[in-house]
Every structure is written in structure tokens, then in C-alpha cells.
Amino acid sequence: MVETKTGQSIERGGFLLFLALVSIALLIVVLPFFKPILWAALAAIMFQPLYQWFLAKRPGRENQAAIATLLVITVAVILPAFFIGSAVIEEAAGLVLAFQQGRIDVADWFTQVFAALPSNIQASLDESGFGDFGDLQQRAQEFAQQSLGLIAQQAVALGGSVFGFVLAFGIGLYTAYFLLRDGKTIGNSILHALPFERSIANRLAERFLGIVRATIKGSVVVGLVQGALGTITFMIVGIPSALLLGVLMAIASLLPALGPALIWVPAAIYLLAAGYVWQGIVVIVSGVAVIGMADNLLRPILVGRDTGIPDWMILLTTLGGIALLGLSGIVVGPLVAGLFLASWSIMREQRDAGTA
């Protein structure tokens, strides 16, 4: 009897090892297409209500409902993203040329801003050693050129790997189609196969979906709105490359506390220092009363409830996710943080229940 149990334990252990190795092998195989699969999964989660709406209109036509949903995604999301992305890359490339040709001088901007400061502040900066902006000017110039050059390099890399981009795009759409159509079945199968209690698996799944929806709605959508408002504001006051600055503002909106102010505050300071008084005032008023209020008004409506993740953790995981995975990290970072907190919360509850 003991030998039988020992043999069964070895066989079970061997099967679990084999299962782990096969799972790791699958992850390695699909790793080159991780990003398109990730965004396909996010699209399937966010547009599942639209798929259900199409399916309710034509019951039993799952394939048609999935195709109709993909068409809406393509027209409403993908095509506008292509147009905006190409325009931003064009503006970034133009700025790189302007820097290289000397038509834009960041050092001169610093000089104008410093000259516009009150005399007592200038004296304090001189005493602190910050009055001579020579080194700071040079580093700022280099940073601006490198940042814009990176955007231009991404455009060249994209153009040089058209086949890879088309392949990844096709895989994303193909995956999104099946996830829209069979997403609930696949999700239930995964939950059933997880080596957890079903109640724990359900809570983690609920947490996963909640964080994804909160991140997309509360961060991406609000960021796009704030970026659009910033672009309109910069166009009104005549700041060049308004679309590029608007996209940067949308990205900055992901950062708690500071957010879009990282973009519009320096722009307002420069305008006021350069003598464009009404333009600078317009940027300040728009930044505080319009762009800033958009987050306070839209986030509660779109998200509906708090994700339960502290702002400092959202900041760290968002920046870490972007550094590790690019734009995909905008969602992956907070998602990992949310699942981390949820897992520890469940473990604490189970420990408390066991000691009660």
C-alpha cells in the first residue's frame, strides 16, 4: 500500500513537472506575439458588451457578431490611432530637423525664462549656483534631441519591419475575433483548471477584469480626452507641434498627482516669459479649469469604483511596466499590482479564518 501511494505521488509529481515544462514552452513559443495577444485580450474584455449587443440583435450568429465588433474596433480605434501616430511621428521628425539645423534653441528658452523672473529670485538662483544655465542648457538640448530622435527612430524601425508589423496586427485581430466569440468559455475553462479553490479563482478573475476596465477607462480614455483638450489649447495659442505635445500630455496623465501639468506648466511659463501674455494665461486657465477638471469629472463616471491600488504603487508599476514592455506596460503594471494586493488580501483572510 505504501509503495502504491509512493508510486502515485511520483507519477503525479512527474505529471505536474511535465505540465509546468509544457506551459513554459508554450509561453516561450508565443512570446514574440505577446503584445498583440495582450491587446487582443484587452479589446475582447472592453468590447464584450458590444459583442453581446450585436449577438442579441442576431441570436445564434456568434461569428457575425464577432466580425461586426471587430469592424467597430477597427473604425473607431485602430484607424484613428494610425492617423494620429503618423502625424505625431511626422511632427517629431520635423522637430529633430529643427534642432539639428539650429532653428530651435532650448538654451535660448532657458535664458528668456530666467530673464523674466523677478530680480530677487534671480539673485537667489545666482547665489545657489543655478544662475549660470550653461551646463543645464546643454543637457536640456541633448535630452530634447534624444527624446525626439527616439520617436523618429521608432518610425524608421516600424517602416523597416512592415512584414512583422502586419503579421502582429493580423494575429491581434485573429485572436481578438476568437476571444470575443469564445472568451467566456475560455475564461471558465481557465478558472476551472486553476489549482485554487473556485471561490479564490473567481475573486482573482473579478479583480483582473475590474482592474483592466478601470485602467482602460480611467487612465487611457481620460488620458486621450486630456490630450485632445491639450492639443486644442496649444493650437488656439499657436504653439507648434501641438499634436505631439497633446500626445505627451496624454501619456503624462497616467502619472498620479502631476499628470498633464508636466506638459502645460512649462509651456505656459515659456509663453509668459517670451511675452505672449494672453496665450500663457489661456494655457493656465485651460490646464486648471478644463484639462485638470476632466480627470475629476470623467474618472468617477467611467471607472465607477476605486481600483484599491494606492497612487504611489500605480505610479511605480506604470513607469516600471512602460520601461519593461512599452505602452503595454500601461495596463500590465497596474494589473500586476492589483493582483498582488488581491492575492495577499485573500491569504490574510484565509489565515484569519483559520485562526478564528
Segment 340-352, tens digit of pLDDT: 888 888 788 777 7
- The stretch 274-291 carries a mean pLDDT of 85
- The answer to whether position 2 is within a domain reads no
| Confidence band of 160 (pLDDT split at 50, 70, 90) | very low
The whole-chain average pLDDT of the chain stands at 76
Are residues 217 and 89 part of one domain?
no
* H or E segment to which residue 273 belongs: helix 261-273
Instruction: Please tell me the number of Cα atoms within 13 Å of 51 on its side-chain side.
Output: 23
Judgement on whether residues 204 and 217 belong to the same structural domain of the protein: yes
Residue 159 has pLDDT above 50, yes or no: no
In this predicted model, what pLDDT tens digit does every residue of 10-54 receive, in sequence order? 777 777 788 888 888 888 888 888 888 888 888 888 888 889 899
Statement to judge: residues 45 and 188 lie in one domain = yes
Say whether both 55 and 183 belong to one domain. yes
Q: What is the C-alpha to C-alpha distance for residues 72 and 49, in angstroms, rounded to an integer?
A: 13
Say which residues have a Cβ less than 8 Å from residue 22's Cβ, sequence separation at least 6. none
Provide the 10 A C-beta neighbour count for residue 54.
19
For 123-127, 209-213, 238-242, 333-337, which range has the lowest pLDDT when averaged over its residues?
123-127
- Is residue 344 located within the same domain as residue 232? yes
Residue ending a domain, among 193, 222, 244, is 193
The pTM (predicted TM-score) of the whole model is 0.69
Tell whether 26 is covered by a domain. no
Residues 153, 268 share a domain: no
- Tell whether 148 and 206 lie within a shared domain: no
d(CA 334, CA 342): 12
Q: Are both 286 and 356 inside the same structural domain? A: yes
pLDDT greater than 60 at residue 161 = no
Position 303 confidence tier, pLDDT thresholds 50, 70, 90: low
Specify the range with the lowest mean pLDDT, choosing from 28-37, 108-117, 163-172, 258-267: 108-117
Higher local confidence (pLDDT), 296 or 153: 296
Side chain identity at residue 113, one-letter code = V
Q: Which is more confident, 344 or 163? A: 344
Considering 193, 216, 248, which residue would you say is the last residue of a domain? 193
Query: What pLDDT digit, counting tens, does each position of 132-141 carry?
Result: 555 555 555 5
Counted domains in the chain: 2
Residue 39: its pLDDT value, please? 86
Please report the pLDDT score of residue 96 as a whole number: 64
Residue 279 has pLDDT above 80, yes or no: yes
Per cent of the chain over pLDDT 90 is: 2
**pLDDT tens-digit profile of 304-333?**
555 567 777 777 887 788 778 777 777 788
| Residue 37 shares a structural domain with residue 184 | yes
Radius of gyration over alpha carbons of the chain, in Å?
26
Question: Is it the case that residue 77 has pLDDT exceeding 70?
Answer: yes
User: Is 109 part of any domain?
Assistant: yes
310 lies in which domain range? 196-356
**Phi, psi of 210, deg, nearest 5:** -65, -40
**Rounded CA separation 168/234 (Å):** 35
- Residues 118, 182, single domain; the answer is yes
**Is residue 59 assigned to a domain?**
yes
Integer Cα distance of 260 and 227 in angstroms: 8
Say what the pLDDT of residue 134 is.
53
Residue 22 resides in a domain: no
Domain finish residue from 133, 165, 193: 193
Q: How far apart are CA 200 and CA 206, in angstroms?
A: 10
Does 232 map to a domain? Answer: yes
Q: Does 173 score more than 80 pLDDT?
A: yes
Asked, for residue 4, whether it belongs to a domain, the answer is no
What is the pLDDT confidence band of residue 222, given thresholds at 50, 70 and 90? Answer: confident
Kindly give, in sequence order, each residue whose CB lies less than 8 Å from that of residue 33, ignoring residues fewer than 6 positions away.
168, 171
Q: Is residue 351 part of a domain?
A: yes
Indicate if 91 and 182 belong to the same structural domain.
yes
Helices 34-46 and 162-193, axial angle in degrees (round to 10): 60
pLDDT at 314: 76
> Does residue 303 or residue 78 have the better pLDDT?
78
Q: Are residues 209 and 330 in the same domain?
A: yes
Could you tell me the CA-to-CA distances from 100 to 29, 88, 111, 245, 352 in Å, in that order? 43, 18, 20, 20, 64
Q: Which residue has cell 494610425? A: 82
Predicted pLDDT of residue 142: 56
What is the Cα–Cα distance from 141 to 283, expressed in whole angstroms? Answer: 24
84-110 mean pLDDT: 66
